[in-house]
Structure 1
Amino acid sequence: MDIVIWILVFLATFLFMEFMAWFTHKYIMHGFLWSLHRDHHKKDHDSWFERNDLFFIFYAIVSMSLFYSGTTGFWYGFPLGFGILAYGIAYFLVHDIFIHQRFKLFRNANNWYSRGVRRAHKMHHKHLGKGDGECFGMLFVPFKYFKK
């Protein structure tokens, strides 16, 4: 196995996951599975956990399945699984910790990227219903959110 191909598959998977996050968020979470995502937009619950967290579990299962497939001879399973895992970690750090402060870390981050991502996410959450949303991505948001 060529390490360069492994790294390229990993990076391509990580980048593709941003598209998957956008697609899943726009058409599934704000679509037919709104019942699982609604509690993320309307904080009418006292629990630290949200039904919305089930989407994280889904992608964790996909990642673990790909790791397992890597042990059965499908070597692409490892870089695919690690790409999904790395995106999940990045998503958790940016979305759950940095933006929503589920843990009180990264509170003082104030560079152009952090301000743009926060602004885009705030614009997304101004819509409490499943329709009329905007900015469904996470790590790569439209340039207009980076302008002052």
Structure 2
Amino acid sequence: MSVLIPVMIVVLTVVAMEGFAYSVHRWIMHGPLGWGWHKSHHEETHGPFEKNDLYAVVFAVISILLFAIGSAWWPWLWWVAVGASVYGVIYFVVHDGLVHQRWPFRYVPKRGYFRRLYQAHRLHHAVEGRDDCVSFGFVYAPPVDDLKAQLKSSGVLAKRQSKHRDAWRADRPED
């Protein structure tokens, strides 16, 4: 097998994984079947782990199985496992590290692609609950203005502003 074919398989797998991750995040994690685990990711975390981290374990097991099957029977599948693992590392660094600050230090990007990715995922978390969320990808981030427009048209931002205004009023003593 020439070196070009494995490299192409790895790159194509990384690209395809973003579509797979979007789909799993949108329709499974935010759906009735997967929300039980994923809900912890949308709530305040106490400690270094959350129930949502079980998804990483599931995907790691799938990668290990792909490596084993690829080693035994289909070598091209081994390279698919490499691509899936590369995507997992990208996910860990970008999503868990950059966006959710699960690193031992804090860095908020000021401009460019990483700023857009950071903002897009923060807008994903602007919604309480599993419905009306935006931006389900982990590496691709739609334009932030488009996401804000989506949230505004769904009425989520108005509900959120009203809730915060009511909470602010409840905290103020009577004049």
- Cα distance in structure 2, aligned partners of 1:104 and 1:24: 28
Q: Supply the AA of the counterpart residue of 2:118.
A: R
Q: Distance in 1 between matches of 2:69 and 2:130?
A: 36
Q: Distance in 1 between matches of 2:13 and 2:145?
A: 25
- The count of residues paired between Structure 1 and Structure 2 equals 145
Structure 1: unaligned runs, 5 residues or longer: none
Matches within 5 A, 1:85-124: 85-105=85-105, 107=107, 109-124=109-124
1:141 corresponding residue in structure 2: 141
Residue 53 of structure 2 aligns to which amino acid in structure 1? D
Identity of aligned residues (%): 32
* Deviations 1:30-50, CA, capped at 9 Å, x for gaps: 00210100011011x522211
How far apart, in 1, do the equivalents of 2:119 and 2:74 lie?
41
Please give the alpha-carbon distance, in whole angstroms, between the structure 2 residues aligned to 1:67 and 1:37.
27
Shift of 1:105: 4.3
Residues 48 and 79 of structure 1: CA distance in aligned 2, closer, same or farther (over 3 Å): same
Which amino acid counterpart does residue 136 of structure 2 have in structure 1? F
Aligned to 2:65: 65
Decide whether the 8 Å contact of 1:97 with 1:105 is kept in 2: no
**Aligned equivalent of 1:54:** 54
What root-mean-square deviation, in Å, do the aligned CA atoms of Structure 1 and Structure 2 show?
1.6
Gaps of 5+ in 2: 147-175
Q: Residues 73 and 106 of structure 1: is their aligned pair in 2 closer, same or farther, counting only changes over 3 Å? A: farther
The 1:78–1:22 alpha-carbon spacing in structure 2 relative to 1, beyond 3 Å, is same
Deviation at 1:64, TM superposition (A): 0.8
Equivalent-residue separation in structure 1 for 2:86 and 2:37 (angstroms): 24
C-alpha distance 108-46 of structure 1, shift in aligned 2 (>3 A): closer
CA distance in 2, matches of 1:129, 1:144: 20
- TM-score, structure 1 normalization: 0.91
1:138 Cα deviation after fit: 1.1
**1:96-128 deviation per Cα after TM superposition (whole angstroms, max 9, x unaligned):** 111111113461533311110011001100112
Match of 2:126? 126
The aligned residue for residue 37 of structure 2 is 36
- Seen in structure 2, the aligned counterparts of structure 1 residues 2 and 99 have a Cα distance that, compared at 3 Å, is same
Q: Which runs of 4+ in 1 moved over 6 A?
A: none
TM-score by length of structure 2 reads 0.78
